Amino acid sequence: MNHFLDIHKTDATALRGMIDQAAAMKTARQGRPKGTPDDDQPLAGHMVALIFEKPSTRTRVSFDVGVRQMGGQTMVLSGQDMQLGHGETIADTARVLSCYVDMIMIRTFDESVLLEMADYADVPVINGLTDRSHPCQIMADILTFEEHRGPIKGKKVVWTGDGNNVCASFLHAAGQFGFDVTFSGPEQLDPEEEFVGLARKAGVSVTIERDPIKAVQGADLVVADTWVSMHDSQSSKERRHNMLRSYQVNDALMAHAKPDALFMHCLPAHREEEVTSAVMDGPQSVIFDEAENRLHAQKAVMRYCLGV
């Protein structure tokens, strides 16, 4: 049994195997209607619990469809349905769910909920997102980059804006896949020092560059994410916009990256805020390939977790 909690906690060889398997499964489905099953049905007879404390579009749909394409069944639960951690401990919830399902994917706020679930569950647990990391997204991003530009090893990835949970998972992945990261954003929103240190210890370069124009020079990939959360207050949103306005990804900024640099965003995006529509809909953008690849990458993650 393998959990998938964070990229830096997963063996690099296993990660590479997941990316390669995801690419193969995607190729095998070309031209096939979305609702048809895969030829291979590795999840046949398996039940997967999908738990959402945080709302979701891509995570919910991609996991649900992925399980079904591989022959399994899903049980979708919200935090309110379960009152997760209220009245019953996370540990007891994990033990109970392990009696009914073969795997648990959880999208939650506090990382401690994920870790306690994994500690006490007798089935694999997948991190669908926490406030600290988003590993499934970055697996899809690496798959996307490599299908457009080849191996990501040795490439320069530039993150602009807020050093948030998605940025953290890029740093986790940098050491495992061998690419360099440059962060460009205000000091108040720097990524966690622990994650910067992990990547550097793994032998890759992590650079903090406040000037976004300097940051993107030589970039193979430029990545942005939303500046505000749905839970932020109006005053917090205004402060963040003031801090981050100069880090918007637009045509002028992309002109300083490599001519064949790609642009990614995990979505949902606030157009004309962290990124312009001209970039999102432009020739360097692969945001919708990236969204589709959540499906294929997560199918490979689930197969890894179940050993199928």
Residues identified as active-site: 107, 134, 137, 225, 266, 294
Q: Is 240 within 8 Å of 228 (Cβ atoms)? A: yes
Q: Report the alpha-carbon distance of residue 279 to residue 131 in Å, rounded.
A: 27
Phi then psi dihedrals of residue 180, to 5 deg: -95, 150
Q: Which long-range contacts (CB under 8 A, 24 or more apart) does 57-60 make?
A: 57/268, 58/266, 58/267, 58/291, 58/294, 59/107, 59/128, 59/129, 59/136, 59/294
- Buried b / exposed e across 279-305, counting CB within 10 Å, b at 16+? bbeeebbbbebbbbbbbbbbbbbbbbb
- In 3D space, the residue among 230, 242, 307 whose CA is nearest the CA of residue 273 turns out to be 242
Q: Using DSSP, state whether 226 is helix, strand or coil.
A: coil
Under a CB-based contact definition with an 8 Å cutoff, are residues 182 and 158 in contact? yes
Contact between 259 and 251 under an 8 Å Cβ cutoff? The reply is: no
- What residues contact 248, with CB distance under 8 A and at least 6 apart? 273, 274, 275, 276
Q: Which helix (H) or strand (E) segment is 105 a member of?
A: strand 103-107
What CA–CA distances, in Å, run from 137 to 162, 290, 294? 16, 9, 6
Radius of gyration of the chain measured on its C-alpha atoms:
19
Nearest alpha-carbon partner for 51 in 95, 73, 88, 82: 82
* DSSP conformation class of 40: S
